[in-house]
Amino acid sequence: MKKNIAFLIAFFILGSLSAQQITLSGFVEDKSSAERLVSATVQLLGTTQGVITNNFGYFSVKVKSNEKTSLLISYTGFEPQQIDFSGQNDSSLVISLSPITLQEVEVKASRPQHGQQLGKLSPHVAKLQEAPAIMGEKDIIKSMALLPGITGGQEGTAALYVRGGSPDQNLFLLDDAVIFNPFHLFGLVSTFNGDAIKNVDIYKGNFPARYGGRLSSVIDMTMREGNRNETEGKLDVGIISSKGQIEGPVDDGCGSYFLSARSSYLNLLTLPFNIAYRLGTGDYRFNYWLYDINAKINYKFSDTDHIYLSLYNSNDTWQVGERSDRLTTAFNLNWGNTVASLRHNKKLRKGLFWKNTLSYSTYRYQSDISNIISIEDPEPGQEATEENSNEVGSSVSDSRLKTELFIPIYKWIDISAGLEAAYLGFKPFVSEVKNSSTDQTSINRQVLGGQEVAAYMQTNFEWGKYWSMSTGFRYVNFFVEGANYQSPEYRFNINREGLKGWNWSLAYAKTSQFLHLLNANSVGLPNDVWLPSTQLIPPSRASQTSLGFSKSSKNRSITFSSEAYIRNMTSLIDYSRSSLLQLSPSLDWENELATNGMGFAYGFENMITLDYKNWDAWVSYTWARSERKFLEINEGDWYPSSFDKTHDLSVMVNYDLNASWKFNAVWNFQTGRPFTAPIAIIDGEWGDYMIYGDRNNARLPAFHRLDLGATYSFEKKGRDRTWSFGVINAYNHINPNVFAPELLYLDEENSYTNYRGIGFIPVLPYVSFGMNLFKNK
């Protein structure tokens, strides 16, 4: 009885509070283009309370009725705006912020501090694109590796490591659709055209409950929507590729479209060799081509209903041919992503926001090797040539349906909840072997599938002037043939702001991953094999605890942040043998793998940012360790993981000389990654035979590189134009990516093993030119 009375009292108190408050909700947008602004700050003046707009530019705050309320809305590169409000009914607002100037936008490319949490990075896309880039291709993914806790693979590798995790433990999202492989050109360039990306949120810890499926990080990217006021276009021409974009309104501003495309012309550089090969005057041919396309259209049916359709496609093709007197060989490699998402959001009463998403994503990889052998003196009835071919492929797909609801309860509490269902399709091993002499064709196909159902709920609290907390719970059920795995996942975060100018944060997250990635090559080849959890291979799980603090100077020109973390991982997989394998359909792959592995990662991340007058810089340093343990490897002893890099130091400096000239420099130092080196090489009858010792028993030399860049912007004939140029690896330090062992002889009886370092990137100058297609207004 007492419990019922207490419940009724609490109910009436909350009801009374609710009756005394109203909801202010709406959208924040760019006045010049009417494009919604993601992560804009909406702060209640006179308090420490505020919110950040979501991926659709939406916000909702609770205020007292019949009481004057002042809101301050701010966003990087835009004039802040103050709105005074007093009323007794819920109200909906559309707040348009005016851009300052192009120059000031680029100089002040830092995020507003309010609402930012440790464990989450929200770098401005303009900031990420300031770094010098290989061949002039501005690359937001590669620039992320300059941030604390995030490490890029060494040159020539397609990887991003977050807090000691493997590359497959990062969840890449583009407009809520999964991206499986985010790299072009053997990892030298990412598949994301920075001009098409509006916002990036990076979660290294403190994962909101709405995210799941990966252990290490979430990289959530939002594509641009397009200008709803006028048509705009842009063209950029670089050394290895060109890109263009066009955007504009739909139906008098009720919607907008955005289209961008990028394509390389490396094949033009090799055209003379290919022509000679076809004419029979050359013995070699080489061709490489890549492209990516971003397209998006959105339409506002009413003040409460909005729909978005996003499309994305990337592709790489590599072809090599060689011929001699009796043998002609051809090698073809193709890989790429295809992604689509359809999203609908609806603004309901009382500030409720309802979002529905239907997405599809697939990644495919295919290689084929063929040869034609000329037979000398064929037998009667025998063909003069013998043709052989071997095609190997792999693919993975993700089809997903999700519904989510955001519910503001009171000005210091809100709730978000959601449901999602997904089907994951796997074709890990597909091969077709043909032999003309036997007239036989061998086809092997393996098709696997899994279903995932998840539900989540998260509550965010704010109390007093300084305290905030979020608690979340996510429950996942994964079905695969012969097995059913459940995973309860807990999320917790508490923040204390303003303690003598210091902000403190403590977070805990439990995550799980139901798919695994195998890559048998370490030099950037995209031979990724995605596999689901099965009866014999359980899902990987992780728990992470992090503690951090930050402090800003009074004028916020200098900010310092530091964070320590510990992560435990279980049910990891790896190759059971020291020599890397290329799995094939004939292998019993589940028994070839080392399973039920353990992982332990810990580290200390630090970052200082400077934003003073014409100078803009940051220094990032991470000390970290990452270890693995498998019963089948190293006799069950711990060993450094392939992603273990103890020291990672990055310095980025930007200087604006004037409105036209801008200069930037990036220097990066990393501990060399571990690799498994043979302890001996035996000169056998059929070639050298390598004997391996402990896993990851050696390291590459330390990596360090200096990149310099500059841009010159000007207006000519009513159009904005920009020259970008610079140099990669300015002091020409060759960073070995792999070490090739070789047996060298001192004399006929004595020999020794030598390791020859192989690097990919010498000093590389670059230049590119960009201009608007339409005249300025």
Contacts by 634-642, CB closer than 8 A, 24 or more apart = 634/694, 634/695, 637/694, 638/600, 639/694, 639/695, 639/696, 640/674, 640/696, 641/164, 641/166, 641/599, 641/601, 641/674, 641/696, 642/166, 642/522, 642/673, 642/674, 642/675, 642/696
CA distance 519 to 47: 52
Residue with the bigger pLDDT between 768 and 523: it is: 768
Confidence at residue 748, expressed as pLDDT on a 0 to 100 scale: 62
Please name which of 264, 206, 270 lies closest in space to residue 472, comparing C-alpha atoms.
206
Give the residue carrying structure tokens 């896309």.
125
pLDDT band at residue 382 under the 50/70/90 scheme = low
Give the integer Cα–Cα distance in Å for 307 and 529: 35
Whether 351 and 424 map to the same domain: the answer is yes
Same domain, 261 and 160: yes
Mean pLDDT of the chain: 84
How high is the pLDDT of residue 372?
77
Q: Which residue has the tokens 């202010």?
A: 24
Task: Report d(CA 411, CA 17) in Å as an integer.
Answer: 10
Looking at residue 325, its pLDDT comes to 76
pLDDT-derived band at 381, boundaries 50, 70, 90: low
Q: Judge whether 62 and 21 are in contact, CB under 8 Å.
A: yes
Cβ 355 vs Cβ 403: under 8 Å = yes
Q: Give the pLDDT of residue 384.
A: 62
Report which secondary-structure segment, H or E, holds 9.
helix 2-19
Q: Among 44, 71, 102, give the residue marking a domain's end.
A: 102
Segment 13-37 mean pLDDT: 74
Token digits for 758? Answer: 């192989």
What amino acid occupies position 611? D
The residue with greater pLDDT, 435 or 441, is 435
Of 9-18, 90-99, 591-600, which range is least confident?
9-18
Residue 375 contacts residue 12 (beta carbons within 8 Å): no
CA–CA separation, 402 vs 420, rounded Å? 4
* One domain, residues 268 and 153: yes
- Rg, Å, the chain Cα set: 28
Tokens 């330390």 correspond to what residue?
702
pLDDT tens digits, 134-167: 777 788 888 898 999 998 876 766 678 999 999 8
Q: How far apart are CA 676 and CA 692, in angstroms?
A: 7
Percent of the chain with pLDDT over 70: 85
149: which DSSP letter?
Answer: T
Residue with tokens 């220097």: 667
Determine the Cα–Cα distance for residues 523 and 518; give it in Å rounded to an integer. Answer: 14
The answer to whether position 366 is within a domain reads yes
* Cα distances (angstroms) measured from residue 485 to each of 479, 512, 589: 7, 10, 21
Q: Give yes or no: residues 95 and 156 share one domain.
A: no
Which residues lie below 8 Å from residue 588, measured CB to CB, with a gap of 6+?
none
Query: Residue 774 pLDDT more than 90?
Result: no
Q: Is the pLDDT of residue 214 over 90?
A: yes
pLDDT at 83 over 80: yes
Dihedral angle sign, alpha carbons of residues 132, 135, 139, 143: negative
Paired residues of 369 in beta bridges = 331, 390
> Distance (Å, rounded) from C-alpha 37 to C-alpha 236?
25
What per-residue string of b and e applies to 521-555 under the rule 16 or more CB within 10 Å gives b? ebbbbbbbbbbbbbeebbbbbbbbbbbbbbebeee
Instruction: Kindly report which listed range (89-98, 306-315, 642-651) carries the lowest average pLDDT score.
Output: 89-98
Segment 511-531, tens digit of pLDDT? 999 999 876 544 445 667 888
- Residue 61 pairs in a beta bridge with 24
Q: Checking DSSP bridges between strand 69-74 and strand 197-203, what pairing results, if any?
A: unpaired
3-state secondary structure of 46: coil
Using CA atoms, how far apart are residues 460 and 447, in angstroms rounded to an integer?
A: 42
Sequence letter at residue 496: R
Domain assignment present for residue 111? The answer is no
Which amino acid type is present at position 35?
E
Q: What integer is the mean pLDDT of 352-370?
A: 93
Is the pTM higher than 0.85?
yes
Q: Per mean pLDDT, which of 10-14, 46-50, 193-197 is the most reliable?
A: 193-197
Single-letter residue type at 77:
G
Let me know if residue 275 belongs to a domain.
Answer: yes
Residue 555 inside a domain? The answer is yes
Partners of 755 in the beta sheet? 741
Phi/psi of residue 729, each to 5°? 60, 65
Considering the domain architecture, whether residues 176 and 88 belong to the same structural domain is answered as no
Contacts of 687 (CB under 8 A, 6+ apart): none
Alpha-carbon distance values, 741 to 429, 521, 523, 576, 689 (Å) = 30, 16, 15, 21, 11
Q: Any idea what the CATH number is for the domain that residue 188 is in?
A: 2.40.170.20
Q: By the 8 A CB rule, do 673 and 647 touch?
A: no
pLDDT tens for 615-658 read 989 999 999 999 999 998 888 999 999 889 999 999 999 999 99
Based on the domain organization, do 412 and 512 belong to the same domain?
yes
Task: Report the C-alpha gap between 372 and 386 in whole angstroms.
Answer: 6
> Which residue from 519, 442, 503 is spatially nearest to 180, judged by alpha carbons?
519
Within a domain: 777: no
pLDDT at 376 over 60: yes
pLDDT surpasses 90 at 568: yes
Burial of 278 (0-12, 13-18, 19+ CB in 10 A): exposed
pLDDT at 18: 46
- As a whole number of angstroms, the distance between CA 422 and CA 478 comes to 9
- Among all chains, which residue has been given the structure tokens 């904005």? 720
Tokens 């770098």 sit on residue: 123
Distance linking the first and last C-alpha atoms of the chain: 72
Question: How many Cβ atoms are within 10 Å of 647's Cβ, its own excluded?
Answer: 12
Q: Note down the domain range covering 464.
A: 120-772
Predicted pLDDT at 588: 67
CA dihedral 638, 213, 337, 200 (to 10 degrees): -100
Enter the DSSP assignment of 99.
B
Question: Is 508 within 8 Å of 492 (Cβ atoms)?
Answer: yes
User: In Å, how far are 678, 681, 749 from 746, measured between CA atoms?
Assistant: 19, 15, 8
* 586 and 647 fall within a common domain: yes
Residues 272 and 335 grouped into a single domain: yes
> What's the CA gap between 115 and 761, in Å, rounded?
40
Residues 685 and 735 reside in one and the same domain = yes
- Lowest model confidence (mean pLDDT) among 237-251, 439-453, 646-660: 439-453
Structural domain count of the chain: 2
Max avg pLDDT among 94-108, 143-157, 230-244: 230-244
Does residue 115 belong to any structural domain of this protein? Answer: no
> Which amino acid is located at 363 in the chain?
Y
Retrieve residue 192's tokens: 């994301």
| Nearby residues of 771 by Cβ (< 8 Å), 6 or more positions away | 234, 235, 719, 720, 721, 722
- Looking at the predicted structure, is the pLDDT value of residue 467 above 60? yes
Phi, psi (deg, nearest 5) at residue 392: -130, 135
| Contact criterion met (CB below 8 Å) for 721 and 771 | yes
Assess if residue 11 is contained within a domain. no
Confidence of residue 402 (pLDDT cuts 50, 70, 90): very high
Residue with tokens 């995973």: 487
> Which of 39-53, 163-177, 230-244, 285-299 is least confident?
39-53
Q: Does 66 share its domain with 146?
A: no
Average pLDDT on 210-215 reads 95
What's the rounded Cα separation, in Å, for the pair 546 and 352? 32
pLDDT digits (tens, 9 = 90+) for 102-139: 444 333 333 434 445 778 888 888 888 888 877 777 88
Same domain, 41 and 166: no
Q: Quick check: is 542 in a domain?
A: yes
Q: What CA–CA distance (Å, rounded) separates 179 from 221?
A: 10
**CB contact at 8 A, 136 and 767:** yes
For 292-307, the DSSP string reads EEEEEEEEESSSSEEE
Q: Point out the domain boundary residue: 52, 72, 102.
A: 102
Amino acid at site 307: I
Q: Judge residue 466's burial from the number of C-beta atoms within 10 Å of its C-beta, 0-12 exposed, 13-18 middle, 19 or more buried.
A: middle
pLDDT by residue (tens digit) across 474-502? Answer: 999 999 988 999 999 999 999 988 767 78
Q: Which residue has the higher pLDDT, 720 or 134?
A: 720
Question: What are the DSSP E strand ranges found in 86-182?
Answer: 91-97, 120-121, 150-152, 160-162, 170-174, 177-179
Distances (CA, A) of 184 to 160, 317, 575: 13, 10, 25
| Distance in angstroms (rounded) separating the CA atoms of residues 383 and 435 | 12
Contacts 24+ apart (CB under 8 A), 41-44: 41/72, 41/73, 41/74, 41/75, 41/112, 41/114, 41/115, 42/71, 42/72, 42/73, 43/71, 43/72, 43/73, 43/74, 43/114, 44/69, 44/70, 44/71, 44/411
Nearest alpha-carbon partner for 331 in 380, 295, 377, 370: 370
- Which CATH number fits the domain that encloses residue 81? 2.60.40.1120
Task: Quickly state the pLDDT bin for 403 (edges 50, 70, 90).
Answer: very high
Sorting pLDDT into bands at 50, 70 and 90, what band is 686? Answer: low
**Structure tokens belonging to residue 296:** 């998006």
Is the same domain home to 612 and 698?
yes
Q: Which of 102, 135, 165 is the last residue of a domain?
A: 102
Supply the pLDDT for residue 751.
Answer: 60
